[in-house]
Chains A and B, each alone.
Chain A
Amino acid sequence: MSDRLQHGVTSHVPVLRLGEVLLVTLQGDLHDSDAQQLQQDICEAVANSGVTGVVIDISGVEIVDSFLGRVLAEIAANASLLAARTVVAGMRPAVAITLVELGLTLPGLRTALTTEAAMELLTHHDPAAGRGRLSQELG
């Protein structure tokens, strides 16, 4: 609790909307409670804005432990319930190796090398034709 107060608002992670995609950029190490807060923020943002995709850029994260790994998987599961696809972008090699050694292969999660590739994956390469295309056709 005191940690949470110490970190305060400064470690709050911004959730940006870019068209039909939510962009979340994680920088540095994320505290457990911040991660949970982020999960809630993303969930609400997806529900309110009706986006079709969420991109989580973790290229600035050096340490991903089992908790953050689980939070990422839960964010993806939450978002898919709300009909949005989640892509985790920019995972560092060391982080990938650590997660695999921990046995966390995050099977339900889409991944991309860079944020750009993730955006492309969500906007162009979209065989499932989410709500975005449907609304275009209707409009």
Chain B
Amino acid sequence: MPEHQAAVSEGTSARQVAEFLYRHSERIAQRWADEPLFRSVFTVSRDEAVEAARAVAEALARVAESERVHDTDATGFVVVREQLARMAAARSRAGASMAQVSGEVEALRPPVASLLVEECADLPADEVREYATALTVLMGTLRLVVLDTALSEGQALIERQQLQLLEVATPVIRLWDGVVAVPLIGTLDSARSQVVMETLLEAIVEQHARFAILDITGVPTVDSLVAQHLMKTVAAARLMGAECVVSGIRPAIAQTIVHLGLDLGTVVTRASLADALAYALHELGVGIVAPASGGAGAR
């Protein structure tokens, strides 16, 4: 029974808070505009800050009105989500950590709370307490919403950057007529090795390459997974009719490969890119000779 009573009074207090927020949205907006969160985002115009603060206050009022003060997915938040994301993004660009942003959102509560207490000075104490609790819960939910939007923004940014990384990280270079090279930089995972394989095979077709050099100087570590990716790429290139040479195997990596017992027996390997190119040129029947003394050939 008491639970039921509490639920009813929670609903009413949420509606009361909603009414209070509607009535004083202008005053709350004025106070919030001076808080660090709004002041640091809207540095140019105070009117804009007031405008944004009023939008947030009205959104909170709508959420309270629907009695869903706990719910971060409440429809009332939808309209200000973009605004909140922009503010959170601006703060994190300025170097504020998540905790700081959270603290700044929390700082929005005291001005409203004091306004509420002023307003309800002549009401019974437990009623005021109910209202204050509802308001606190509501502000906590706002805090969650801000952090949630900020995190999902960050996630989207990371995904975008991963895609960009895939695009830029796999250039295929033509070293000679019929010789192409891919300098691999960074850790090879499945997604990247797939892209490397595809771009390399396309380049072999386009440039009529008979030799493809995979240079792993920039790959920090080689484990069995990376080795497997390399073997796959080598096998695919061979099926296309090109021979693959793996170069840039540093002494430490050679030792790791031997320790792991990986069998690269079918793969031609060379210590450096230069050695690999020399091997390819030799196989192509191309020789490089030093120009005759006198510097006639120097360019």
- A89 and B205 in contact (CB under 8 A), knowing A97-B197, A97-B198, A100-B236? no
A113→B198 contact, CB < 8 A? no
CA distance A26 to B232 in the complex (A): 25
Contact A111 B198 (CB under 8 A): no
Contact between B239 and A113, CB atoms less than 8 A apart = no
Contacts of B241 in A (CB 8 A): 88-91, 111-114, 117-118
Which residues in chain B, 225-244, are within 8 Å of chain A measured between CB atoms?
A: 232, 235-242
B210/A96 in contact, CB under 8 A: no
Q: A111-B240, A111-B241 are known contacts. Are A93 and B201 too (CB-CB below 8 A)?
A: yes
A residues less than 8 Å from B240 (CB atoms): 91, 93, 96, 111, 113
How many angstroms from the CA of A22 to the CA of B6 in the assembled complex?
91
Contact of B46 with A by CB under 8 A? no
Residue of B nearest to A112 (CB): B241
Q: Does B167 contact A (CB under 8 A)?
A: no
List CB contacts (< 8 Å) of A104-124 with chain B: 105-107, 109, 111-114, 117-118
Contacts of B197 in A (CB 8 A): 97, 100
- Whether, in the assembled complex, A99 has its beta carbon less than 8 Å from a beta carbon of chain B, the answer is yes
Query: Judging by beta carbons under 8 Å apart, are A96 and B208 in contact?
Result: no
Please determine whether B236 and A113 come into contact, CB atoms closer than 8 angstroms: no
Residues of B within 8 A of A101 (CB): 232
- Say if the beta carbon of B204 comes within 8 Å of chain A: yes
Q: How large is the interface on A (under 10, 10 to 19, 20 to 34, 35 or more residues)?
A: 20 to 34
A112 vs B205: C-alpha distance in the bound complex, in angstroms?
A: 11
Kindly provide the distance from the CB of B233 to the nearest chain A CB, expressed in whole angstroms: 8
Contact with B along A14-26 (1 / 0, CB 8 A): 0000000000000
Contact present for A113 and B235 (CB under 8 Å):
no
The bracket for how many chain B residues form the interface is 10 to 19
Chain B residue nearest in CB terms to A69 = B239
Residues from chain A with a CB closer than 8 A to the CB of B205 are 92-93, 113
Q: Within residues 166 to 213 of chain B, which ones have a CB less than 8 A from any CB in chain A?
A: 197-198, 201-202, 204-205, 208-210
Bound complex: CA of A109 vs CA of B241, how far in Å?
Answer: 10
Of the listed residues B198, B208, B238, B266, the one surrounded by the most CB atoms of chain A closer than 10 A to its CB is: B238
The distance in angstroms between the C-alpha atoms of A93 and B202, with both chains bound, is 6
Q: Which of B204, B208, B209, B232 interacts with A100 by CB under 8 Å?
A: B232
The answer to whether A113 and B242 have CB atoms under 8 Å apart is yes
CB neighbours (8 Å) of A106 from chain B are 239
Tell which of A95, A100, A117 touches B210, judged by Cβ atoms closer than 8 Å.
Answer: A117
Determine the chain B residues whose CB is within 8 A of the CB of A114 once the complex forms: 208, 241
B257 to chain A minimum Cβ distance, whole angstroms, is: 19
| Complex CA distance for A101 and B232, rounded to whole angstroms | 8
| Distance between Cα atoms of A99 and B242 in the complex (Å) | 15
Chain A proximity of B57: nearest CB distance (Å): 57
Which one of B208, B209, B239 contacts A105 once the chains associate, using CB atoms below 8 Å? B239
* Docked CA distance A14–B298 (Å): 55
Please report which residues of chain A, range 63-113, place their CB below 8 angstroms from some CB of chain B when the two chains form the complex: 88-93, 95-97, 99-101, 105-107, 109, 111-113
Rounded to whole angstroms, the CA-CA distance of A55 and B61 in the bound complex is 78
**Least Cβ distance of B191 to chain A in Å?**
14
Q: Which of A97, A99, A112, A114 is the most central at the interface, judged by chain B CB atoms within 10 Å of its CB?
A: A97
The complex places the Cα of A114 from the Cα of B204 at a distance, in Å, of: 11
Residues on A lying within 8 angstroms of B by beta carbon are 88-93, 95-97, 99-101, 105-107, 109, 111-114, 117-118
Known: A106-B239, A111-B238, A117-B208. 13 other contacts (CB 8 A): A89-B241, A91-B240, A93-B201, A93-B240, A97-B198, A100-B197, A100-B232, A100-B236, A100-B239, A111-B240, A111-B241, A113-B208, A113-B241
15 pairs of residues in contact across A and B, judged by CB atoms under 8 Å: A91-B240, A93-B198, A93-B202, A93-B204, A96-B236, A97-B236, A99-B236, A100-B197, A100-B232, A106-B239, A107-B266, A111-B240, A113-B208, A114-B208, A117-B241
The 9 closest A-B pairs by CB, nearest first: A93-B201, A112-B241, A113-B241, A111-B241, A105-B235, A96-B239, A96-B236, A100-B236, A100-B235
